[in-house]
Amino acid sequence: MREKNSLIKLKIALIILFGIISLGCIILYIFFYNEINTLMSIRKISSKLVYKITYHGDYALDKYLNTGAESWDEVLNFLNESLCRGVGKYVYGESRCSSFFAKTPDGDYILARNLDTLEAIPSIIKTNTSTGYKTIGVTNFARGGWNENNPVLKLTALSSPYYTLDGVNEYGLAVASSSVPTGSGSKADERKISIHDITVNRVIIDKARNVEEAISLLSKFNIKMEKTYPTHYMIADAEGNCAVIEYIDGNMKVIEKTGNYQIATNFILYNNKKLIGYSSGRYMAFDKVLSQTNGIISAEAALELLEKNVVPGEAQWSVVYNLSKKTMTIKFHNDIENTYYYSVD
Residue 193's pLDDT is 96
Query: Is 172 strand, coil or helix?
Result: coil
| Position 20 in a domain | no
Residue 9's pLDDT is 58
Quote the CA–CA distance of 239 and 181 in Å, as a whole number: 31
Residue 2's pLDDT is 54
CA-based nearest residue to 133, from 223, 31, 238, 30: 238
Quote the CA–CA distance of 199 and 196 in Å, as a whole number: 6
Residue 10's pLDDT is 56
Look at the chain and report how many structural domains it folds into.
1
* Cα dihedral sign, 270-275-281-282: positive
257: Cβ–Cβ under 8 A, 6 or more apart, which residues? 101, 241, 242, 243
What is the pairing mode between strands 315-322 and 262-264? unpaired
Residue range of the domain that includes 107: 33-343
Quote the CA–CA distance of 229 and 143 in Å, as a whole number: 16
Query: Is 290 strand, coil or helix?
Result: helix
| Position 16 in a domain | no
pLDDT tens per residue, range 194-242: 999 989 999 999 999 999 999 999 999 999 987 656 789 999 999 999 9
Residue 32's pLDDT is 61
| Position 256 in a domain | yes
3: Cβ–Cβ under 8 A, 6 or more apart, which residues? none
| Position 216 in a domain | yes
CATH number for position 135: 3.60.60.10
Residue 21's pLDDT is 58
pTM listed for this prediction: 0.90
Cα→Cα distances 253→114, 216, 218, 222, 246, Å: 23, 12, 11, 13, 5
| Position 91 in a domain | yes
Confirm if 99 and 264 have CB atoms less than 8 A apart.
Answer: yes
* Cα dihedral sign, 116-117-118-120: negative
The residues with which 248 forms a beta bridge, in sequence order, are: 251
| Position 215 in a domain | yes
| Position 9 in a domain | no
| Position 265 in a domain | yes
* E strand intervals along the chain: 43-44, 51-55, 98-103, 109-116, 122-127, 135-140, 164-169, 174-179, 193-196, 221-224, 231-236, 242-248, 251-256, 262-264, 315-322, 327-332, 340-343
Residue 296's pLDDT is 98
Q: pLDDT below 50 — which residues of the chain?
A: 23, 28
